[in-house]
A and B are shown apart, each in its own frame.
Chain A
């Protein structure tokens, strides 16, 4: 079974789209930060993308069945690392998300836990004893995902924690649910947000929700980011103001223009036309991943690809939706474009998994 895998067997359309998006991202990071304290962010991002490509090849060369076999180990390590973050993590903007590494680089554990969740869901749903999901299974997988989620919420990092949910949701949706389970989920969907608002959400998160509903209520405070982002996007118009010409970006009215709000500065400087091109690339990327799911050799491979697709769709919806004021501010990055090592590497690792499945589609 140990075939020789050629680099030519990788999903090259997928790779091309990925690298195009990374290029747009690096250009935009440069434009947004060229005269700020983060002016080295663009070449750091190039470094991350290069490392990402290596990791992608490395991950795709290990049979994903082997990886699935190690899920319990991965899961255990994840939980331990998340606990470590809570104990010794670096505090930035009031939350502990990072473990310091060397040379000023930091390691965001919660980003890599996404991969573990993808593998966990794929393995669990493949090993079901029956064709449908028993309520017991449903609760069990829910519990398995809830533990890391709870640890990430504690950091606090609600956005990343919530991004674990679509992986589970897509998996369960593909397996199928009985009416009773749909009702149960419906009930939880009603009760959980209310209890979360009461007991889990931090004050700043509540303010973000309120300002999402009515940003002009506090335009200098919690509504500031929402409003400034919309002004940036709106003033870009059809054709955009040009690279390094966006006033909202260059005069720093837009907060964190190279990470969470990179798509707002992209929209300001490249206009509606640029936005449509970039979103089109993202759409093609998703469809390419879905196509790999359809061509997967077994259910496990399909679950892996669909998990990645679900997670990316969620990120796009929440991040880009936030930029245009149609989603509350959650502080999750835009995959491939936002500056940031952990997020970039974890996306490349996910794409590595997708390629991994693709390389083994003719195994039988």
Chain B
């Protein structure tokens, strides 16, 4: 019985537990808690949607637009550059450019893309960094121009969804420059605007990635030549596939530019300077139009067209011969004897000498305790102005300089345009130096020594000029005191009135007679005589380094042999009366003036040859072929 009783107790306990377990109310408070928790979770979620959809809707609409709307550039072709007869100097040709959609860009793809297309990867990374700073993410970046068929095949094969979907091809016009650096310094080149340039006022209006003119005519007339890029906005999906074109703004191409350059003369001058260092300038003194401009050594602007590799750029930049220098307007050198006509004009005009002034040349003369040699060791004997110019007698001009005084010389030199920019429409022209007492005090805080005038009298000393200045000055002198601003673009509206200076025409005539004699009367350039053409000119040979410097450094020899050779100059014009063309040749390290004279002779000869070939009738017929003068550039 007790056993059963115990069992009954146990059963009762079990039953109590079962009743408890069937009691679902024990957790009602906790279930209520669960309900509140659910409310909290839903409020948490709804607030998330509120934040995204109601508070920040604008932001996300914009982000969605940037996801799907991509703008692709339509590159505008630049205007062509033509010569004075509208023959093409710089053209465009169509090609394919590769662009990267920067939004889709995976940085790990860059290396493979660079390898496949032979792009300098560090350059590209650097450019991408610059783009990221200033351009919206949906704008793409051009990474390679003018794809070769092989590269095109690479792009086509790898632009699939699984490889590099960020690659896109666009049609582009690429600059095509003449080969072998022909007229490269006149034309200049284009390139992608650089970071430092964007910070200058000249280039501030451009945007990262723009191709702009960086030198020469391309830079000077960039606003005319450069078109306005168009743009195509498209809707793309996540793979970059175009679903729809939203809108399209066509590119407007740049306008063509007619230069004053005559391709025939330019070719003659280029040929004459083959394998030489120096410059040639031909201009029409009646208008200031530049007919030819050559600077050597030159470079191949095609390498610059578009995006130059750092390696190529450094190679050109670090070349000791400095091929980027346009020697025609940027070389500042002693003019040597080519300056003598201006000394003569200064001496005559200032009354320091008269027509009858003569000097005895015995191969040298002493001034202020120093002996100055004449280039002719035997001397020229009795020398008057005409003979002095014809034979370039140094002793004669020493005396002229000594009598005239440096400030009178400087005054006449500045009248002729030395020591200042001629105002040619090319960037980077330099001024040269016309020394004077004021110049010496200002720059060296020293007084002028009369002995220094003796050197200046033969175009040495502190005096430096550019080839363009020499051509400009000589042309004006030959015109009897009328100086037109040299220019490269045929644009009547750009024409500035000439600077007319009243000079004594009788003095000018006697100097010009001397220059005629240099070529035609057995003077220093007698071998360059041109039958039938009244070709006048003046030779010059100028030391590159002073005699003192040469003595001091000969032992150590830090300069090459080239540096001790003289520069050969020649300035010539024709005809004697009413000159039509002035040509200056600078042949660096060419030793003697007569070596530069044939260059000038060739150019002048071809000018007159061409003139005689084209009868007036055909010239008239050629006029309508020329392009319309373009409107003034927009600034």
A residues engaging B (CB < 8 A)? 126, 131, 170, 173-176, 220, 228, 230-238, 247-248, 251-253, 267, 271-272, 275-276, 279, 282-283, 286-287, 290, 293-294, 296-302, 306, 309-310, 313, 316-317, 320-321, 324-326, 364
Contacts and interface: CB of A to CB of B under 8 A. Distances in A.
Contact of B21 (A126, A252, A325): A126
A290 B45 contact: no
A253 B238 contact: yes
Contacts of B370: none
Contacts of A306: 31, 34
Interface string B16-50: 00001111101110110011011101101110111
B67 interface: yes
A298 B53 contact: no
Interface residues of B, number: 45
Given A235-B63, A298-B24, 16 more contacts: A175-B27, A228-B67, A233-B49, A236-B53, A237-B53, A237-B54, A238-B57, A247-B68, A251-B236, A272-B49, A275-B49, A276-B49, A297-B24, A298-B21, A324-B52, A326-B45
A221 to B, nearest CB: 8
A357 B104 CA distance: 54
Nearest to B235: A251
B59 interface: yes
15 contacts: A131-B20, A173-B34, A174-B30, A176-B30, A231-B60, A234-B60, A234-B63, A237-B54, A248-B64, A272-B49, A294-B24, A294-B28, A309-B38, A317-B41, A320-B48
Given A170-B34, A230-B60, A298 B52 contact: no
Interface of A is mostly: helix
Query: Which of B31, B34, B49, B236 gathers most chain A CB within 10 Å?
Result: B49
Nearest to B51: A324
A238 B53 contact: yes
Contacts of A247: 64, 67-68
A235 B49 contact: no
Interface of B is mostly: helix
A290 B36 CA distance: 12
A279 B39 CA distance: 11
Interface of B: 20-24, 26-28, 30-31, 34-35, 37-39, 41-42, 44-46, 48-54, 56-57, 59-61, 63-64, 67-68, 104-106, 235-239, 243
B53 A302 contact: no
B48 A321 contact: yes
A253 B63 contact: no
A34 to B, nearest CB: 15
Contacts, number: 145
Contact of B61 (A234, A251, A364): A234
A131 B20 CA distance: 9
Contacts of B48: 320-321, 324-326
Contact of A235 (B22, B61, B236): B61
Nearest to A361: B24
A272 B54 contact: yes
Nearest to A221: B106
B60 A235 contact: yes
A238 B57 CA distance: 8
Query: Which of B27, B45, B238 gathers most chain A CB within 10 Å?
Result: B45
Contacts of B104: 220
A14 to B, nearest CB: 15
Contacts of B39: 283
Contact of B237 (A174, A232, A252): A252
A251 B63 contact: no
B34 A290 contact: yes
Contacts of B46: 275-276, 279
B40 to A, nearest CB: 10
Given A237-B54, A299-B24, A317 B63 contact: no
A219 to B, nearest CB: 10
A233 B238 contact: no
A233 B24 contact: no
